[in-house]
Structure 1
């Protein structure tokens, strides 16, 4: 019983009923304008009004904004389970206009039927309640057919049964509204829902946003992970040595590393807060992913702030301050790298140095970066610590998020990356073409 009665007391049902009644209002307005409601039979009115209504609705569907207006109204009053099922975009082609025209005609016809029932049924119920004896079969006004000629026992019994029709009619009307509202919603989803082109565009947008967020997460992993690794190593070394001069230098390195990490964090969080800002994320390349350098996504000023190959000396100094000797050879002519490649190259080297500091602290690190045969080649190697010297925190690398991020960066840039142990070293090599397709 609750399942039968619940829809009749739902606010959604009456919101949909209001949406249906608007169709009746449209028909009524048209009838009053043409051909008028005086002097015509019901059949003549329908014969003259239907072509006019259809023509007006067809013309309205030609206006691109009509589809948007109908979509907004349907979302508000039909209360779909998912608002995305009903589009709110203007018509962008004749297919959308045809679907909008079909929706308008179907909506008005269904609204006219339900709206007419919403007027006639309550009127009939009021008439039954006011004059039940006139609705009793076999009775006439004045009590003919009753025992006493004035509405005796038989008239009383008949009136009682007739009164029971009132709640039945109202219940039927309520469920007519419920089912008509559900049918109207199904029509809206089918005729106002996103077109195949819009669904494809939405899927592409979701994929771009997912890629962008993955790139931002990778950016944070590289930057914050490096900063935390350096900070932990510096603090641990300062505590072990107990040298005031070294402790002061370690604090200076920690401060500078933390400041750069905070800048990266603030920039990334700003992009996450406002992903639709044209000067913010802008696209899948917005967080350091590959893409045209001119549309890198962070805006020109932010792209210049992000570190590139030219910032590697500071990175190497940080590693040296953490206790790991760094031998670096950077053979890259000035201006030879596109901006995106310079920034991605920095992040790749940063991750390689971070892994070396994390898994082999104090061991020498060798860096080689060069441009050869139209490609950027990077090699980062560090001596493996003896098994007996490995602590719990410096276990062999097994392809964690950092190495996976390096491979993803390389692949998205059209290159490749490999990493593994050999000849007593852990070696990371990356080769990326200077231009896609090169």
Structure 2
């Protein structure tokens, strides 16, 4: 089918035509009420008075919040947009929305009146052509074709105006983008939380289970099983807390995340897994730190200890947390096995180290990880303001 005929056969074209003719009906009704049509009346004066009254009435109607909703629903049904969400269907929420609604009503009515007037004139001219054989009827298809294409172009213009004036404003689109970004950041934060918590628990569990299988001492096995049970229970608590947050239930706001005061239990689990821990971390420091800094610091230390357990089991782990010049410095180091190599030795690291860097950057700090004097070192510096 030729491209110039396809739009004329679409149902959307005639639905938009109906939408345009509504403007003609409105103008006609107002014109009959005031200033009316009387013999000898100036056409220019009549049009000017009618246009002024139309604009005033439409402006007043646009002040009602429900008008925007009604116009949006009608435009969705009759203008047939590619995506319905490109035309809003919510009531006006601000004076900007009311102003855009008023602009839409005025331009919609003016364009509809123009198309309606052209339709009436075309019908009149078509009647005359039919009554003027032999050449008049031959020109009728040309007139119909021209009128339908006028309707097609006017309908497209009307749709573009609806998207621009009834659709989301620039501020609305920015707010929606910010909301999507916030939700994405929240999902990423929850993913990091799960990675750090469950990854640490699985690492400790695997090491404890392996050690218990190798050592014949019943007391050691009993201690290993106890450590596995404790670590698993903590992981289940963390998982349940994450699920509460994901479900967005009211309880989610009350779910607490572990802070720096929980590091002794973290170190105990590492020692039970066979890795000595030399810690210079004061748990009481957590009470003086901002809550978000304390929580992120715990996850950073947890990631450092987990990496050491995973890639250098049995090797002493040195952890230090100190406050200096308004910054919290976290340092986690473990000796590299002779000739050892593990993923992340290049300094880029895997998901865990990426998560550490993201946590540090979001708090305005910095993180570094890599070889240093035969050790694998994770260093993080976070700006803080200590509580009095």
Same-fold status (TM-score > 0.5) = yes
Residue 188 to residue 368, structure 1, CA distance change in 2 (3 Å) = same
Match of 2:331 in 1: 379
Mapping for residues 389-428 of structure 1, pairs under 5 Å: 396=345, 398-400=347-349, 401-428=351-378
1:135 to 2:132 alignment: yes
1:210 to 2:184 alignment: yes
TM-score normalised by structure 1 residue count: 0.72
Query: How far did residue 344 of structure 1 move?
Result: 0.9
1:432 to 2:373 alignment: no
Query: How far did residue 68 of structure 1 move?
Result: 5.1
Query: How far did residue 307 of structure 1 move?
Result: 1.2
User: How many residues matched?
Assistant: 382
Mapping for residues 75-94 of structure 1, pairs under 5 Å: 75-81=76-82, 85-86=86-87, 88=90, 90=92, 92-93=94-95
* 1:381–1:426 contact (8 Å) kept in structure 2: yes
Q: Secondary structure at the match of 1:428?
A: strand
Give unmatched runs, 5+ long, in structure 2: none
TM-score normalised by structure 2 residue count: 0.80
* 1:418–1:428 contact (8 Å) kept in structure 2: yes
Alignment deviations for residues 63-112 of structure 1 (CA, whole Å, 9 cap, x no partner): 4554455445434543444556545573634x655443332211001112
| Distance of 1:169 and 1:365 partners within structure 2 | 88
Residue 245 to residue 70, structure 1, CA distance change in 2 (3 Å) = farther
| Distance of 1:267 and 1:79 partners within structure 2 | 45
Query: How far did residue 124 of structure 1 move?
Result: 6.8
Q: Secondary structure at the match of 1:382?
A: strand
Match of 2:207 in 1: 233
* 1:337–1:434 contact (8 Å) kept in structure 2: yes
Match of 1:353 in 2: 305
Match of 2:263 in 1: 312
**Structure with larger Rg:** 1
Residue 78 to residue 273, structure 1, CA distance change in 2 (3 Å) = farther
User: Considering only aligned residues, what root-mean-square deviation do their CA atoms show, in Å?
Assistant: 3.7
Alignment deviations for residues 384-408 of structure 1 (CA, whole Å, 9 cap, x no partner): 1111x55xx6673632232232222
| Distance of 1:410 and 1:311 partners within structure 2 | 19
Alignment deviations for residues 129-180 of structure 1 (CA, whole Å, 9 cap, x no partner): xx94x331xxxxxxxxxxxxxxxxxxxxx3xx65555544443333222211
| Distance of 1:193 and 1:33 partners within structure 2 | 33
1:326 to 2:277 alignment: yes
* 2:290–2:384 contact (8 Å) kept in structure 1: yes
Alignment deviations for residues 276-300 of structure 1 (CA, whole Å, 9 cap, x no partner): x8x59xxxxxxxxxxxxxxxxx52x
- Tell me which moved more, 44-53 or 348-357: 44-53
| Distance of 2:146 and 2:343 partners within structure 1 | 75
* 1:359–1:396 contact (8 Å) kept in structure 2: no
| Distance of 1:347 and 1:205 partners within structure 2 | 26
Query: How far did residue 339 of structure 1 move?
Result: 1.6
Match of 1:184 in 2: 158
Match of 1:12 in 2: 12
Query: How far did residue 249 of structure 1 move?
Result: 5.1
Match of 1:284 in 2: none
